[in-house]
Structure 1
Amino acid sequence: MPRRCTRNRRLVLVVLFVAALFVPALANAEPAVWVVKGPHATVYLFGTIHALQKDDPWRSPKIDAAIQQSQTLWLEIPNVDDSASMQPLIMQLGMDQAHPLSTKLTPDQLAKLTRAANSVGLPGGEAMFESFKPWLAALTLSIAPLMQAGYDPSTGVEMELKPEFVKANKPVKGFETAEQQMRYFADMPEKTQIDFLSSELDDFDSAIEKFKQMLAAWSAGDVDALDKLNNADFRDKYPELFQILVVKRNQKFTTQIEDLLKGDSVSFVAIGAGHLVGKDGVPAMLEKQGYKVTRE
């Protein structure tokens, strides 16, 4: 495969799968599952894991039962397996040939970027990022050490769930489009994008250790620990960014789930686990709207 195609595919996987929490699964995992009931409808909520090592287990009897009962699968975006359609969007929204990334960064930020790129063996090192907008560079760096450690977005939870529902002739739908997801990042002011990149650079060396801690919390279904590890620092250090990438999206997810609850079907909602925990999580928002949200 030509190097350009390989690189584009990697960029597509980054954009598709870093919008939420990246944690792998452990043997005997029991991730959290919630159920919400309307007058005639049922919605199961499951926090997805967007990148896994091959053959990592994540299923449980509770999850399997919810899947079997569900008539429709709802993902963040429905075409998670269509990387080719993402490439034009990446070129349109994530690239800036006229303004090299290095001209937007401080010497300290540029040094950190160079060291991070070299440490995970990215082709060309820092030069790889010169045509990237800051948000795309940040997303790439957020997943690069995880991919180096063997966690692959192409084997994430969504990649197993979608074909299972398709095979059973059950619809697969999405709350967002790929372009909407990208625009959450691309439409941010440049300063906010650089703050996002700076936070990834600051956390780069501790990414794997934090990853392991989130792994333990997710696998144990410890949603309080998961919120603390995944959201607390983000919420405190970058409140504007947290509002854009988490709170506002959760509000939209909640509104759409309320529409599902007004129907008469059973739906399996599988979105990033970081969207389902804490005071700003979808279960908490649904409870504020008067729904009873129950852990299975």
Structure 2
Amino acid sequence: MSRFLTLTSAALMLTACGSDPTLSANPPAEGPAIWTLADADTTVHLFGYTQVLKPDVTWQSEAVSTAFNAADTLILETEPATPETQSDIQQTMRSLGFYQEGRTLGATLSDEQAEEIGTVSAQFGVPLTALDPLKPWLASMQLGVVAISAKGYDLTQTPVATLQRQATERGMTIRSLESPTTLMQKIAGLNEDEQIGMLLHGARTLRDDPEQTARVNSAWLAGDVNSIAETLHGDGGDDSGAWPSDAVYTLMLTERNEFWRDDIATLMETETGTYFIAVGLGHLAGKDSLVSMLDEAGYTVLRQSRQDP
């Protein structure tokens, strides 16, 4: 499930483009994109990060560093990793992601589906039988993680981990927009057909577009939000970035952006200070991006200029 790894921290998901007047007035430049909205006593910087990078990639531009260093509070997409949150994640996976009473993934899939997914998973040294204990949503997540690892991406030294470490060193307040299990609980609530569709879509993306992550990361490092939107959300007018279904797109992207838009509106109205909000890059690209939603809500969201790291 490579797209879930891109747009959220779990596996994928989870960005506005040409139709957004704010972005149209600010053409891409080198360095990851960052936006700012402010009133008399509150400033919010919005930063979209990639979930995985190859080792030793430099990504913190001067604009990103300046915004981060000016902030009093770091707000992450999900709660920072702690022994407690890791325990919650494991418990959620066990209770919602594993079959009970002898049922298996292979028996749930049709023969054609099993063959298609098994062919892809075998390319990464994972026979379909190894995924048998997992429900389709968790099998999709696991397949995406295995594929990313096999391609040499570092799953530990991520941009969000770097931000968290730097915030801790600076003594910044660290908050989050949702718990790490919130999205998993929602995905697990999808009906079985939707979950199988996610698994098939992820496997087909790994098979048909093996360089998707590399392409998205290149666009991210160049500040090319339009290309991110085209690849992840299909905003270029073809089906290459289509999600598994409208239901999955709504669950993983638009509903969460709506919640976060409201959270930011409340923050602007009730709190003071400077905030650095970091979410998966897919949430800040495309027609349903958090940037577009804030713009439509009446906020002036300005894209910052970038310079080479």
Aligned to 1:242: 249
> What whole-Å deviation, never above 9, does each CA across 1:52-95 have from its counterpart, x for those lacking one?
22222111000000010011111111223543442122111211
How many Å separate the matches in 2 of 1:203 and 1:275?
A: 20
Distance 1:109 1:93, change over 3 A: same
Aligned to 1:80: 81
* TM superposition shift of 1:187: 1.0
Q: SS where residue 78 of structure 2 aligns? A: coil
How many Å separate the matches in 2 of 1:284 and 1:118?
A: 40
The alignment status of 1:33 with 2:34, answered yes or no, reads yes
How many Å separate the matches in 2 of 1:93 and 1:108?
A: 25
Distance 1:203 1:19, change over 3 A: closer
Would the aligned equivalents of 1:36 and 1:44 in 2 still touch at CA under 8 Å?
A: yes
Q: 2:111 aligns with which of 107, 111, 115?
A: 107
Would the aligned equivalents of 1:18 and 1:139 in 2 still touch at CA under 8 Å?
A: yes
How many Å separate the matches in 2 of 1:79 and 1:94?
A: 22
Gaps of 5+ in 2: 1-7, 15-28, 305-309
Q: What is the percentage of aligned positions where both structures have the same residue? A: 26
The alignment status of 1:59 with 2:60, answered yes or no, reads yes
Distance 1:119 1:236, change over 3 A: closer
Q: SS where residue 113 of structure 1 aligns? A: helix
Aligned to 2:122: 118
Aligned to 1:10: none
In the alignment of these two chains, the number of paired residues is 274
Would the aligned equivalents of 2:42 and 2:273 in 1 still touch at CA under 8 Å?
A: yes
**Structure 1 ranges of 4+ moved more than 4 A:** 233-237
* TM superposition shift of 1:237: 5.3
Distance 1:165 1:250, change over 3 A: same
> What whole-Å deviation, never above 9, does each CA across 1:150-187 have from its counterpart, x for those lacking one?
11221111111111111111111111101212112111
Q: SS where residue 18 of structure 1 aligns? A: coil
| Higher mean C-alpha deviation, range 246-255 or range 197-206 | 197-206
How many Å separate the matches in 1 of 2:276 and 2:13?
A: 18
Q: 2:259 aligns with which of 252, 264, 275?
A: 252
TM-score by length of 2: 0.84
* TM superposition shift of 1:133: 0.8
Letter in 1 for 2:59: W
> What whole-Å deviation, never above 9, does each CA across 1:240-278 have from its counterpart, x for those lacking one?
210111110111111111122222111000000000011
Q: 1:142 aligns with which of 122, 129, 144?
A: 144
TM-score by length of 1: 0.87
Aligned to 1:17: 10
Aligned to 2:23: none
Q: SS where residue 226 of structure 1 aligns? A: helix
* TM superposition shift of 1:20: 2.6
> What whole-Å deviation, never above 9, does each CA across 1:180-214 have from its counterpart, x for those lacking one?
12112111111111111111122221343222222
Q: Superposition RMSD on alpha carbons, in Å?
A: 1.8
Would the aligned equivalents of 2:92 and 2:185 in 1 still touch at CA under 8 Å?
A: no
Aligned to 1:91: 94
How many Å separate the matches in 1 of 2:104 and 2:30?
A: 44
Q: SS where residue 211 of structure 1 aligns? A: helix
Higher relative contact order, chain-length normalized (CA < 8 Å, sep 6+): 2
How many Å separate the matches in 2 of 1:237 and 1:19?
A: 12
Q: 2:204 aligns with which of 193, 199, 202?
A: 202
Q: SS where residue 279 of structure 2 aligns? A: strand
How many Å separate the matches in 2 of 1:241 and 1:72?
A: 31
* TM superposition shift of 1:36: 0.9
Instruction: Trace 1:145-294 onto structure 2 (pairs within 5 A).
Output: 145-232=147-234, 233=239, 235=242, 238-262=245-269, 263-294=271-302
Distance 1:270 1:40, change over 3 A: same
How many Å separate the matches in 2 of 1:194 and 1:295?
A: 38
How many Å separate the matches in 1 of 2:104 and 2:163?
A: 39
| Higher mean C-alpha deviation, range 47-56 or range 270-279 | 47-56
